[in-house]
Each structure stands twice: as C-alpha cells, then as structure tokens.
C-alpha cells in the first residue's frame, strides 16, 4: 500500500523515509544515492517543519527559491534535490501532479579542473600518508571514481593480467581498467605495510572502507602543500587521467570504456580541456599565403 496524500496525518517522516528507502532498494539505487536522496528530502521537510506528504506545489517552489537565493546552492545540489523530490512524489507518494512544480535547472557549462603532468608530479610528491598516496595514485592511474577506489578489495587487483576489477561502479556496472606497473609496485609496498583484509583501503573501522570526505580533505591539503592554487579533489585526478590520455593520442572510445561512461558524449568534454590538441591545431591564419604588404610603387 502506498502512502498517499489522503492518508492520515499520523504518517510520520520516519515512516515515509522507510518507505522511500524500500522503494529505492527495489530499484537497485546505490547506497550513496539513497543517502543523498533521503538527506535532501529531510532538508525539504525541515524547512517547513512538516512531513513532505502534507506539502504542495507552492511549497516546493518556495523551497527551490530559498535554495537559489538564500543558500546559493550549486547546480549539482539543486539538481540532486529535484531528483530526490521527483522520486519521492512520483514513486513513493504516487503524486504525479507535483512533478510539474519540480523543473530541472539548466546546467552551467563549466570545464573540469585538470592538473598538468608537472602539477601531477608535484601533487604526488607532497602526499605524506602511505595509504593516501596509494589511493590517490590508484584513482589517477585507472581513472577511478573515488567511491570505486575506496571500495576495492585486495582480490580486485589482478597482477597476472595487469587489470583492476572495478565492481558495481556508477549504474551498478562492473568494468576492467589497466593496472599500471608503477602502481602495482606501490600497491605491493602498501600491502606489506598495511596488511589489509576485507577492504584494500580500510578506515579507522577495518570493517568499513575509508570515508570519502576524509580523502577529499587530505586531497586539498596535499594540493596546498604542493603549491597548487587550483581546487583539487579526488575527481580532479580522474579528469586529469582522461585529459592526459587524450593528449597522448588515446582513442576517445577507449577513454569512454575506461571511465565507465554510458555515452561517448559524456567523454567528449575532455576534448575541450586537452591543451595538447589545442596546441597541435594550426590556426587558419597560418595557412594563408604571404601577408607581407607589397612594396610601394616608385
């Protein structure tokens, strides 16, 4: 039985949360997406001090205006909030009439931050913690998402075939990426030092992988130590991986496969940040014949 708008008001936010979680699990949403969606719905409820089942379209409009004008929410936060509320009202509450009040915002066209190879070298030289160093090397060497790297297990490193098995990446898809010989040596030193068991990169609690936010903080601190003024996150290393491969002449379809992109159009953004391709392109001005003005008569 669905929780609908005409049901008793004693339907609490806790009951709604459990129902929404069950709906997401049935549709195989990842644990991280489940946490994000529940968090955004909870913020919506806290803003009004009411259960979302009691709120309407004008409330949604007011909330999104608050996100934009007061909270100065980024496009990503705004978009994820819209997705969370669309799921809540379309699936869990069965209220399609609410969807028209939840329009998707137009995405800002920004290019990803990419480190040069020289900056990349300085960055890795500045990493002080052995575990952090190997995680960040793994992200850059294989173009992994941070969640994919942190959920690796020792058995996912296939040194015989020189492959890394990325399990249940975005979209619940497995894929293989190359295992760099340099990374393999770093991993062997790390394993002898850390002796990991279930997770290759465990956190303080060895039964859980290192938390994403911990690595994000370490990443920015490392960039500051390296004298890099750009905002550097673990995802910056993934962007740099793709761009450096493109600069080296790797086919875009191969990069698409390595990154785990469903559509090649997602991968083409790296053609806009590849400085090597820009530098290798001849300006049409240089194809014109001699532009020297003719000598004056007489």
- Looking at residue 266, the DSSP 8-state letter turns out to be H
Residue of 145, 175, 218, 239 marked catalytic: 145
Task: Reply yes or no on whether 165 is catalytic.
Answer: no
CATH class held by domain 13-101:
mainly alpha
Residue of 86, 90, 170, 277 marked catalytic: 170
Task: Reply yes or no on whether 170 is catalytic.
Answer: yes
Q: Could you please report the per-residue DSSP string of 186-213?
A: HHHHHHHHH--SSSSSB-SSTTSBPPHH
Residue of 19, 95, 151, 238 marked catalytic: 238
Average pLDDT on 99-114 reads 74
pLDDT at 169: 65
Residue of 37, 78, 190, 270 marked catalytic: 270
Q: Tens of pLDDT along 227-242?
A: 999 999 999 999 999 9
CA dist list (Å): 292 to 284, 289, 295, 298: 17, 9, 9, 18
Q: Average pLDDT, whole number, for the chain?
A: 85
Q: Tens of pLDDT along 136-163?
A: 999 999 999 999 999 999 999 999 999 9
Cβ proximity of 144 and 177 under 8 Å: yes
Architecture of domain 117-280: Orthogonal Bundle (1.10)
Neighbours of 104 (CB within 10 A): 10
What's the N-to-C CA distance of the chain in angstroms? 98
Higher pLDDT among residues 102 and 201, named by residue: 201
Residue of 47, 86, 235, 277 marked catalytic: 235
Task: Reply yes or no on whether 172 is catalytic.
Answer: no
Paired with 178 in beta bridges are 163
pLDDT at 44: 93
Distance CA 128, CA 164 (A): 25
Average pLDDT on 35-56 reads 92
Task: Tell me the pLDDT band of 5, cut-offs 50, 70 and 90.
Answer: very low
List the chain domain ranges.
Answer: 13-101, 117-280
Exposed e or buried b per residue across 187-203, where buried means at least 16 C-beta atoms within 10 angstroms of its C-beta: beebeeeeebeebbbbe
Closest CA to 163 of 151, 152, 147: 152
pLDDT at 142: 92
Task: Reply yes or no on whether 238 is catalytic.
Answer: yes
Task: Reply yes or no on whether 261 is catalytic.
Answer: yes
Distance CA 215, CA 248 (A): 28
Closest CA to 259 of 142, 135, 151: 142
Task: Reply yes or no on whether 190 is catalytic.
Answer: no
């Amino acid at each position: 039985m669905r929780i609908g708008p005409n049901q008793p008001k004693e339907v609490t936010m806790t009951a709604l949360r459990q129902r929404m979680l069950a709906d997401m699990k049935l549709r195989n949403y990842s644990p991280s997406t489940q946490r994000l969606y529940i968090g955004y719905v909870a913020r919506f409820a806290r803003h009004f001090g009411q259960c979302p089942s009691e709120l309407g379209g004008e409330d949604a409009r007011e909330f999104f205006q608050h996100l934009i004008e007061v909270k100065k929410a980024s496009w990503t936060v705004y978009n994820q909030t819209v997705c969370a509320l669309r799921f809540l009202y379309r699936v869990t509450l069965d209220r399609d009439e609410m969807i028209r009040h939840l329009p998707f915002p137009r995405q800002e066209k920004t290019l990803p931050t990419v480190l040069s190879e020289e900056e990349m070298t300085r960055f890795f030289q500045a990493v002080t913690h052995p575990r952090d160093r190997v995680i960040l090397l793994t992200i850059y060497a294989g173009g992994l998402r941070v969640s994919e790297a942190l959920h690796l297990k020792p058995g996912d490193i296939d040194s015989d075939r020189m492959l890394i098995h990325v399990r249940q990446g975005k979209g619940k898809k497995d894929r293989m990426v190359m295992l760099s010989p340099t990374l393999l040596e770093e991993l062997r030193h790390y394993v002898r030092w850390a002796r990991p068991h279930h997770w290759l990169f465990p956190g303080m609690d060895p039964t859980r992988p290192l938390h994403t936010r911990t690595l994000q903080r370490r990443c920015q601190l490392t960039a500051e130590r390296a004298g890099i003024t750009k905002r550097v996150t673990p995802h910056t290393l993934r962007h740099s991986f793709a761009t450096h491969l493109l600069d080296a002449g790797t086919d875009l379809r191969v990069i698409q496969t390595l990154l785990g992109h469903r559509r090649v159009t997602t991968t083409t953004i790296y053609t806009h940040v590849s400085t090597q391709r820009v530098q290798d392109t001849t300006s049409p001005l240089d194809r014109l014949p001699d532009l020297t003005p003719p000598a004056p008569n007489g």
